[in-house]
A and B are shown apart, each in its own frame.
Chain A
Amino acid sequence: MSSLRVTGLRVRHRKTLALDSLDLALGTGVHGLLGPNGAGKTSLIRVLATVARPDAGRVELLGEDTAAHRGLAGVRRRLGYLPQDFGYYPGFTVREFVAYVAWLKEMPAADVPAAVERAVARVGLADRIDAKVRTLSGGMVRRVGIAQAIVNDPAVLLLDEPTAGLDPEQRVEFRGLLRELGATATVVVSTHLVEDVAAACTEVTLLDAGRIAYRGTPQALSLLGETSGGPGDHPIERGYTAALRAHRAPGAREAV
């Protein structure tokens, strides 16, 4: 059963085609979204988050068509979204920020305080919960962003570059959290760091120029790197470049 199904998706971004007739079905697990800058990763995540409206095609989340007004609120209550860039109100503490998003997600008021503390503890900020967000470092603000995304225990969690600004130790901890979340939810993580994908993802989708260049497990992508010998320092990096080159080779479009 796929909790997330996309058919014939087309999205324009500033007059260029960001996504072109994309078909994708994702179920429970952690799905890595890889690809060069401008490949359409953020456009895809924004459409899946029901923020951007697709120019053509159908996006189904948890069995509901997101183009319809009816049912959208129900889907959004079970959605978590970390944008690539997000602002915050400078006067808010971490607790108030996450509680405010919980209020926007229409969580029952009685559940909010406990859910907020749990989400903040899961991203390792329990000791800073009453600190003002503006006093935190970039990596900590990123983790506050992750906390607001998971506060409602979402069934579909969309994270755009969640590891940007995290130090290596925090990234290792975050991968553990991802694996935990992926056991029950459909998690989509866009990233530039192929190590994150190798360590935490159950499946990889490689985007290039608005189309899917490769889909498979991280192991299969590593294996592709071993056999085809693309440039890179890590087997999965070699797999990444090999898959991109295979996709860009003339005549390859029809095969995919």
Chain B
Amino acid sequence: MTQRNAHLWHASEDLVARYAAGVLPEPDAWSLEKHVEGCAGCASRVSAAVRGTAAGAVLAQVRAAVLESAPAPVARTAPAPVVAGAPEAAGAAGWPAPSRIARLLWAAGPAVRGAWLPAVLGVAVAALALAYGAGFPGARALLLAVAPVVPVAGVALSYGPHADPLYEVTAATPGGGLRLALTRTVAVLAVSLPLLTLTGLLLPASGAPAAAAWLLPGLALALASLALASFVGCRAAAGVTGGGWLCAVLAPAAVAPDGAATARLAEQLARCLDGAAAQGVWASAAVLSAALLTARRPAYDRPLRP
């Protein structure tokens, strides 16, 4: 009945003005309130009129407070006339902005949500604890040796049938191939590159290369893992690239006599990371991996090996 009556009449300017001023007799006010529940046109005129009164400022304050404290879906279901004045709270299509960000974060990948993130934080905290808690001089060298493996592990934990519960659905969609793998790799890099580099800056150098020296190797190894994954799957690829790096930098330290292990590690890292020549090699490795990945793009059309 209300639905049907809602469009038989519309509130006059005089009625709206008297309602806003609070001088409308009660039955007329009820009638108008019932009407605006079903009539968006009158509702927005009434809300504009009320905003123009002394109550408007209070309403605006309440609204701001509610929007600030409420989770996204509540903001979405707030009455239309109130939301109408605030396009910044909703996207162009009325989609709440916080929810879109949440969705992107979820899309960013299981690694960033799961056990990987605490592991990255753990590496950073452990390095700081070693340096300042235990007074271990080789903390930065150790961090630089481990850091390039962190994004590689994140990639392996982010994409593929073993990592993603939605994989079967994803595999039949146009965006579920390389696009999703790259989105998740970017998320993993966006977390690990700044975090571990900043941690490195906080550690005493004691002969190890600069804190940012691992950035190019980290990128190159992540891209190489993605390219290799198109042949052997994400987990095996990460094992090869991450394991290969660890063997290369840790082997000399492992065979060194007891006291010299950290010095050997720093030496080996300097060989791998220091200087324009070494960094140039890593840059070209990154470019080559990207080129190989581009060429192998069709392999991401179908599920990779587990």
Contact = CB atoms under 8 A, between A and B. Distances in A.
Interface of A: 49-53, 69, 72-74, 76-77, 79, 81, 83, 85-89, 91-93, 95-96, 99-101, 103-106, 109-114, 130, 145, 148
Nearest to B171: A51
A72 B168 contact: no
B106 A92 contact: yes
B173 A76 contact: yes
B72 to A, nearest CB: 10
6 contacts: A89-B113, A89-B165, A92-B106, A100-B103, A103-B103, A106-B175
Nearest to A116: B95
Contact of A103 (B93, B99, B107, B164): B107
A85 B168 contact: yes
Interface residues of B, number: 30
B166 interface: yes
A237 to B, nearest CB: 30
**Most B-side CB within 10 Å, residue of A52, A73, A79:** A73
B1 interface: no
B34 interface: no
B165 A96 contact: no
Contacts of B173: 76, 79, 101, 104-106
B172 interface: yes
Interface of B: 73, 92-95, 99, 102-103, 106-107, 113, 164-176, 180, 297-298, 301-303
A130 B73 contact: yes
B95 A113 contact: yes
Contacts of A79: 172-173
Given A81-B172, A105-B173, A72 B106 contact: no
B302 A96 contact: no
A8 to B, nearest CB: 19
Contact of B176 (A92, A104, A111): A104
A110 B166 contact: no
B106 A113 contact: no
B93 A110 contact: yes
A109 B103 CA distance: 13
Contacts of A148: 169
A49 B176 CA distance: 13
B298 to A, nearest CB: 4
A87 B166 contact: yes
Given A103-B107, A112-B95, A76 B174 contact: yes
A104 B93 contact: no
Given A69-B297, A91-B113, A145-B169, 10 more contacts: A49-B172, A76-B173, A89-B165, A92-B106, A100-B106, A100-B166, A103-B103, A104-B174, A105-B173, A105-B174
A91 B114 CA distance: 12
